[in-house]
Amino acid sequence: MIGNSTRPTWNNLFTSYGNIEWLFIKISLVITIWPGLIYTVLTKTNQPYPIGICELINCASITGDVVKYFVVGTLVILALLYILEKKMLWTTCLIFILALIIFALQESNGQKGRSGLLSLLFLAQAFAYFFKARNIHGNIEKNRIQFSVQMIAAVYTLAAISKIYTSGINWIVDSPNIALQIIKSYQYDYINTGEIGFSEYGMTIANWVGNHTLFMQILLGGSLLVELCSFVLMLNKKWAFYYSFLLLFMHIGIYIMLNITFPTVSNPLIIFFMNPLYLIFLSLRSIYFLIKPDKVQLAE
Protein backbone atom coordinates (compact mmCIF):
# COMPACT_ATOMS: atom_id res chain seq x y z
CA MET A 1 0.00 0.00 0.00
CA ILE A 2 1.36 3.44 -0.88
CA GLY A 3 1.40 5.79 2.11
CA ASN A 4 1.74 9.55 2.22
CA SER A 5 4.19 9.59 5.11
CA THR A 6 6.09 6.40 5.70
CA ARG A 7 8.58 5.33 8.28
CA PRO A 8 11.92 4.42 6.78
CA THR A 9 12.04 0.71 7.59
CA TRP A 10 13.13 -2.42 5.81
CA ASN A 11 9.51 -3.62 5.83
CA ASN A 12 8.42 -0.61 3.76
CA LEU A 13 11.28 -0.81 1.28
CA PHE A 14 9.21 -2.47 -1.46
CA THR A 15 5.75 -1.26 -0.52
CA SER A 16 5.93 2.50 -0.26
CA TYR A 17 7.73 5.66 -1.31
CA GLY A 18 8.97 7.57 1.74
CA ASN A 19 10.26 11.12 2.08
CA ILE A 20 13.65 10.10 3.43
CA GLU A 21 14.06 7.62 0.58
CA TRP A 22 13.28 10.47 -1.82
CA LEU A 23 15.72 12.79 -0.03
CA PHE A 24 18.59 10.35 -0.57
CA ILE A 25 17.67 10.01 -4.25
CA LYS A 26 17.84 13.78 -4.63
CA ILE A 27 21.15 14.02 -2.81
CA SER A 28 22.59 11.24 -4.99
CA LEU A 29 21.43 12.96 -8.17
CA VAL A 30 22.98 16.26 -7.13
CA ILE A 31 26.27 14.60 -6.19
CA THR A 32 26.52 12.71 -9.48
CA ILE A 33 25.16 15.30 -11.93
CA TRP A 34 26.12 18.75 -10.68
CA PRO A 35 29.92 18.42 -10.99
CA GLY A 36 29.59 17.61 -14.69
CA LEU A 37 27.21 20.50 -15.24
CA ILE A 38 29.46 23.01 -13.49
CA TYR A 39 32.59 21.70 -15.24
CA THR A 40 30.94 22.13 -18.64
CA VAL A 41 29.82 25.67 -17.86
CA LEU A 42 33.31 26.65 -16.70
CA THR A 43 35.27 25.02 -19.54
CA LYS A 44 33.20 25.00 -22.76
CA THR A 45 33.36 28.39 -24.41
CA ASN A 46 32.00 27.56 -27.84
CA GLN A 47 29.92 25.01 -29.71
CA PRO A 48 31.81 23.99 -32.86
CA TYR A 49 29.42 21.13 -33.68
CA PRO A 50 25.97 22.30 -32.52
CA ILE A 51 23.43 19.59 -31.80
CA GLY A 52 19.93 19.52 -30.36
CA ILE A 53 18.79 22.82 -28.91
CA CYS A 54 22.22 24.31 -29.66
CA GLU A 55 21.28 24.25 -33.33
CA LEU A 56 18.56 26.75 -32.47
CA ILE A 57 20.31 28.93 -29.88
CA ASN A 58 23.91 29.68 -28.97
CA CYS A 59 24.28 27.50 -25.89
CA ALA A 60 27.80 28.79 -25.35
CA SER A 61 26.35 32.19 -24.42
CA ILE A 62 25.87 30.84 -20.88
CA THR A 63 29.62 30.30 -20.55
CA GLY A 64 30.67 33.92 -21.05
CA ASP A 65 33.19 35.44 -18.65
CA VAL A 66 30.68 36.80 -16.16
CA VAL A 67 27.57 34.88 -17.14
CA LYS A 68 29.12 31.51 -16.34
CA TYR A 69 29.51 32.38 -12.67
CA PHE A 70 25.89 33.47 -12.56
CA VAL A 71 24.91 30.13 -14.12
CA VAL A 72 27.03 28.19 -11.64
CA GLY A 73 25.47 30.15 -8.79
CA THR A 74 22.02 29.38 -10.16
CA LEU A 75 22.88 25.69 -10.32
CA VAL A 76 23.98 25.73 -6.70
CA ILE A 77 20.82 27.50 -5.58
CA LEU A 78 18.65 25.11 -7.58
CA ALA A 79 20.47 22.17 -5.98
CA LEU A 80 19.65 23.52 -2.53
CA LEU A 81 16.01 24.19 -3.42
CA TYR A 82 15.77 20.72 -4.94
CA ILE A 83 17.16 18.95 -1.91
CA LEU A 84 15.11 21.06 0.50
CA GLU A 85 11.96 20.30 -1.53
CA LYS A 86 11.12 23.96 -2.17
CA LYS A 87 8.97 25.18 -5.08
CA MET A 88 9.53 21.84 -6.72
CA LEU A 89 7.50 22.44 -9.88
CA TRP A 90 9.57 25.51 -10.75
CA THR A 91 12.80 24.01 -9.42
CA THR A 92 12.60 20.81 -11.47
CA CYS A 93 11.53 22.74 -14.58
CA LEU A 94 14.49 25.12 -14.30
CA ILE A 95 16.92 22.29 -13.61
CA PHE A 96 15.61 20.47 -16.67
CA ILE A 97 16.05 23.53 -18.89
CA LEU A 98 19.56 24.32 -17.63
CA ALA A 99 20.68 20.69 -17.76
CA LEU A 100 19.28 20.32 -21.26
CA ILE A 101 21.25 23.34 -22.50
CA ILE A 102 24.46 22.44 -20.68
CA PHE A 103 24.50 18.78 -21.72
CA ALA A 104 23.64 19.77 -25.30
CA LEU A 105 26.58 22.21 -25.16
CA GLN A 106 28.83 19.40 -23.99
CA GLU A 107 27.76 17.23 -26.92
CA SER A 108 28.11 20.23 -29.25
CA ASN A 109 31.80 20.06 -28.48
CA GLY A 110 32.02 16.61 -30.02
CA GLN A 111 31.64 14.71 -26.75
CA LYS A 112 28.82 12.24 -27.19
CA GLY A 113 27.96 11.60 -23.56
CA ARG A 114 24.42 10.26 -24.20
CA SER A 115 23.37 12.46 -21.32
CA GLY A 116 19.80 13.10 -22.44
CA LEU A 117 18.44 10.91 -19.65
CA LEU A 118 20.01 13.09 -16.96
CA SER A 119 18.01 16.15 -17.97
CA LEU A 120 14.86 14.14 -18.69
CA LEU A 121 14.79 12.81 -15.13
CA PHE A 122 13.99 16.32 -13.97
CA LEU A 123 11.37 16.79 -16.67
CA ALA A 124 9.73 13.59 -15.44
CA GLN A 125 9.74 14.93 -11.88
CA ALA A 126 8.34 18.24 -13.12
CA PHE A 127 5.43 16.28 -14.62
CA ALA A 128 4.84 14.67 -11.23
CA TYR A 129 4.73 18.01 -9.42
CA PHE A 130 2.54 19.45 -12.15
CA PHE A 131 0.08 16.59 -11.64
CA LYS A 132 0.14 17.30 -7.92
CA ALA A 133 -0.53 20.99 -8.50
CA ARG A 134 -3.48 20.12 -10.74
CA ASN A 135 -4.65 17.32 -8.44
CA ILE A 136 -4.36 14.77 -11.25
CA HIS A 137 -4.10 11.01 -10.56
CA GLY A 138 -1.77 9.25 -8.20
CA ASN A 139 0.22 10.62 -5.30
CA ILE A 140 3.33 12.75 -5.52
CA GLU A 141 5.48 10.46 -3.38
CA LYS A 142 5.07 7.68 -5.92
CA ASN A 143 4.92 9.71 -9.15
CA ARG A 144 8.13 11.70 -8.66
CA ILE A 145 10.04 8.40 -8.53
CA GLN A 146 7.87 6.33 -10.85
CA PHE A 147 7.92 8.89 -13.66
CA SER A 148 11.72 8.94 -13.49
CA VAL A 149 11.71 5.14 -13.55
CA GLN A 150 9.77 5.28 -16.80
CA MET A 151 12.52 7.35 -18.43
CA ILE A 152 15.24 4.93 -17.30
CA ALA A 153 13.27 1.93 -18.57
CA ALA A 154 12.71 3.73 -21.88
CA VAL A 155 16.46 4.28 -22.37
CA TYR A 156 17.29 0.60 -21.97
CA THR A 157 14.40 -0.37 -24.23
CA LEU A 158 15.59 2.07 -26.89
CA ALA A 159 19.09 0.59 -26.70
CA ALA A 160 17.63 -2.87 -27.30
CA ILE A 161 15.45 -1.64 -30.18
CA SER A 162 18.51 0.05 -31.71
CA LYS A 163 20.49 -3.21 -31.62
CA ILE A 164 17.64 -5.24 -33.11
CA TYR A 165 16.87 -2.66 -35.80
CA THR A 166 20.51 -2.10 -36.83
CA SER A 167 21.92 -5.61 -36.59
CA GLY A 168 19.09 -8.03 -35.97
CA ILE A 169 20.35 -11.51 -35.19
CA ASN A 170 23.80 -10.48 -36.45
CA TRP A 171 24.31 -8.62 -33.19
CA ILE A 172 24.76 -12.03 -31.61
CA VAL A 173 26.26 -13.81 -34.63
CA ASP A 174 28.96 -11.14 -35.18
CA SER A 175 30.10 -11.33 -31.56
CA PRO A 176 33.71 -12.29 -32.51
CA ASN A 177 34.11 -8.74 -33.84
CA ILE A 178 33.67 -7.53 -30.28
CA ALA A 179 37.36 -8.37 -29.93
CA LEU A 180 38.14 -5.24 -31.96
CA GLN A 181 36.08 -3.11 -29.58
CA ILE A 182 37.90 -4.67 -26.65
CA ILE A 183 41.27 -3.80 -28.16
CA LYS A 184 40.01 -0.27 -28.83
CA SER A 185 38.81 0.23 -25.26
CA TYR A 186 42.06 -0.85 -23.64
CA GLN A 187 44.04 1.05 -26.26
CA TYR A 188 42.26 4.15 -24.97
CA ASP A 189 43.90 3.64 -21.57
CA TYR A 190 47.30 3.27 -23.23
CA ILE A 191 46.77 6.43 -25.26
CA ASN A 192 45.66 8.33 -22.15
CA THR A 193 48.45 7.18 -19.84
CA GLY A 194 51.28 5.88 -22.02
CA GLU A 195 51.26 2.60 -20.06
CA ILE A 196 51.78 -0.18 -22.64
CA GLY A 197 50.41 -2.75 -20.17
CA PHE A 198 46.86 -1.65 -20.95
CA SER A 199 47.33 -2.38 -24.63
CA GLU A 200 48.81 -5.80 -23.92
CA TYR A 201 46.00 -6.67 -21.46
CA GLY A 202 43.39 -5.68 -24.02
CA MET A 203 44.96 -8.03 -26.56
CA THR A 204 44.87 -10.84 -23.98
CA ILE A 205 41.14 -10.38 -23.38
CA ALA A 206 40.48 -10.05 -27.11
CA ASN A 207 42.22 -13.36 -27.75
CA TRP A 208 40.21 -15.02 -24.96
CA VAL A 209 36.96 -13.75 -26.49
CA GLY A 210 38.05 -15.03 -29.88
CA ASN A 211 38.52 -18.50 -28.38
CA HIS A 212 35.13 -18.56 -26.61
CA THR A 213 32.70 -17.52 -29.33
CA LEU A 214 29.68 -19.52 -28.11
CA PHE A 215 30.01 -18.19 -24.57
CA MET A 216 30.12 -14.62 -25.87
CA GLN A 217 27.05 -15.19 -28.06
CA ILE A 218 25.08 -16.50 -25.07
CA LEU A 219 26.24 -13.56 -22.97
CA LEU A 220 25.31 -11.00 -25.60
CA GLY A 221 21.95 -12.65 -26.27
CA GLY A 222 21.19 -12.57 -22.57
CA SER A 223 22.09 -8.91 -22.20
CA LEU A 224 19.92 -8.00 -25.19
CA LEU A 225 16.99 -9.82 -23.59
CA VAL A 226 17.56 -8.04 -20.29
CA GLU A 227 17.52 -4.65 -22.03
CA LEU A 228 14.44 -5.50 -24.09
CA CYS A 229 12.49 -6.52 -20.97
CA SER A 230 13.32 -3.35 -19.05
CA PHE A 231 9.62 -2.56 -18.82
CA VAL A 232 9.74 -4.88 -15.79
CA LEU A 233 11.30 -1.95 -13.93
CA MET A 234 7.91 -0.23 -14.02
CA LEU A 235 5.83 -3.09 -12.57
CA ASN A 236 6.53 -2.50 -8.89
CA LYS A 237 9.40 -1.67 -6.54
CA LYS A 238 10.23 -5.24 -5.68
CA TRP A 239 10.48 -6.36 -9.32
CA ALA A 240 12.44 -3.18 -10.13
CA PHE A 241 14.92 -3.71 -7.30
CA TYR A 242 15.82 -7.27 -8.31
CA TYR A 243 15.67 -6.65 -12.06
CA SER A 244 17.97 -3.66 -11.72
CA PHE A 245 20.68 -6.05 -10.56
CA LEU A 246 20.47 -7.83 -13.93
CA LEU A 247 21.07 -4.50 -15.66
CA LEU A 248 23.86 -3.70 -13.22
CA PHE A 249 25.52 -7.06 -13.93
CA MET A 250 25.28 -6.20 -17.61
CA HIS A 251 27.12 -2.91 -16.96
CA ILE A 252 29.73 -4.73 -14.88
CA GLY A 253 30.23 -7.26 -17.67
CA ILE A 254 30.65 -4.45 -20.20
CA TYR A 255 33.25 -2.83 -17.93
CA ILE A 256 35.21 -6.08 -17.51
CA MET A 257 35.13 -6.93 -21.20
CA LEU A 258 35.26 -3.55 -22.87
CA ASN A 259 36.67 -1.38 -20.09
CA ILE A 260 33.96 1.20 -20.64
CA THR A 261 31.18 2.58 -18.49
CA PHE A 262 27.98 4.46 -19.20
CA PRO A 263 27.59 6.55 -16.04
CA THR A 264 24.85 8.71 -17.58
CA VAL A 265 22.68 5.57 -17.60
CA SER A 266 24.11 3.36 -14.85
CA ASN A 267 24.15 6.11 -12.20
CA PRO A 268 20.38 6.77 -12.45
CA LEU A 269 19.84 2.99 -12.44
CA ILE A 270 21.71 2.61 -9.18
CA ILE A 271 20.23 5.74 -7.60
CA PHE A 272 16.56 5.05 -8.35
CA PHE A 273 16.45 1.27 -7.97
CA MET A 274 19.07 0.53 -5.32
CA ASN A 275 19.41 3.92 -3.66
CA PRO A 276 22.61 2.97 -1.82
CA LEU A 277 22.62 6.02 0.45
CA TYR A 278 19.14 5.07 1.67
CA LEU A 279 20.17 1.45 2.22
CA ILE A 280 23.15 2.64 4.23
CA PHE A 281 20.83 4.88 6.24
CA LEU A 282 18.44 1.98 6.94
CA SER A 283 21.34 -0.23 7.98
CA LEU A 284 22.74 2.36 10.37
CA ARG A 285 19.25 2.99 11.74
CA SER A 286 18.72 -0.72 12.35
CA ILE A 287 22.08 -1.02 14.08
CA TYR A 288 21.23 2.00 16.25
CA PHE A 289 17.93 0.51 17.41
CA LEU A 290 19.59 -2.83 18.02
CA ILE A 291 22.06 -1.14 20.31
CA LYS A 292 19.37 1.01 21.95
CA PRO A 293 16.16 -1.06 21.91
CA ASP A 294 14.52 1.22 24.45
CA LYS A 295 14.47 4.13 22.00
CA VAL A 296 11.09 4.84 20.40
CA GLN A 297 11.15 4.75 16.62
CA LEU A 298 9.83 8.14 15.66
CA ALA A 299 7.75 8.64 12.56
CA GLU A 300 9.25 10.64 9.72
Partner 1 sequence: MKIKYISVFLFVGYIILSLLFNEFHPFSKYPMYNSFPNYAYTFYVSDEQGKLVPLQGHFQMQANELSHLYTTICETKNIKHGNGMESDEELGIIGKEMLERIISSKKGTLKNDSLSIHREYYYFENGNIIKDDRELYTANVE
Q: Is residue 188 part of the contact set for partner 1 (CB under 8 A)?
A: yes
Going by C-beta distance under 8 Å and a sequence separation of 6 or more, which residues neighbour residue 73?
none
Cα 159 from Cα 117, distance rounded (Å): 13
Q: What is the DSSP letter of 45?
A: -
> x/- binding map, residues 126-165, to partner 1, per CB under 8 A?
-x---------xx----x--xx--xx-xxx-xxx-xxx-x
Q: Is residue 226 part of the contact set for partner 1 (CB under 8 A)?
A: no
**Residue ranges with strand state E in 90-203:** none
Going by C-beta distance under 8 Å and a sequence separation of 6 or more, which residues neighbour residue 31?
none
Identify which of 177, 181, 157 has the alpha carbon closest to the alpha carbon of residue 258: 181
Nearest distance, CB of residue 148 and partner 1, angstroms: 9
Identity of the residue, 29 or 124, whose beta carbon is nearer to partner 1 in the bound complex: 124
CB burial class (10 A; 0-12, 13-18, 19+) of residue 59? buried
Nearest distance, CB of residue 125 and partner 1, angstroms: 11
Q: Is residue 15 part of the contact set for partner 1 (CB under 8 A)?
A: no
Nearest distance, CB of residue 292 and partner 1, angstroms: 40
Cα 148 from Cα 107, distance rounded (Å): 23
Cα 42 from Cα 3, distance rounded (Å): 43
Which residue among 13, 51, 232, 270 contacts partner 1 (CB under 8 A)? 51
Q: Is residue 244 part of the contact set for partner 1 (CB under 8 A)?
A: no
Question: Which residues lie near partner 1 (CB under 8 A)?
Answer: 43, 48-49, 51-53, 100, 103-104, 107, 110-112, 114-117, 119-120, 124, 127, 137-138, 143, 146-147, 150-151, 153-155, 157-159, 161-163, 165-167, 170-171, 174-181, 183-184, 187-194, 206, 231, 234-235, 258, 260, 262, 265
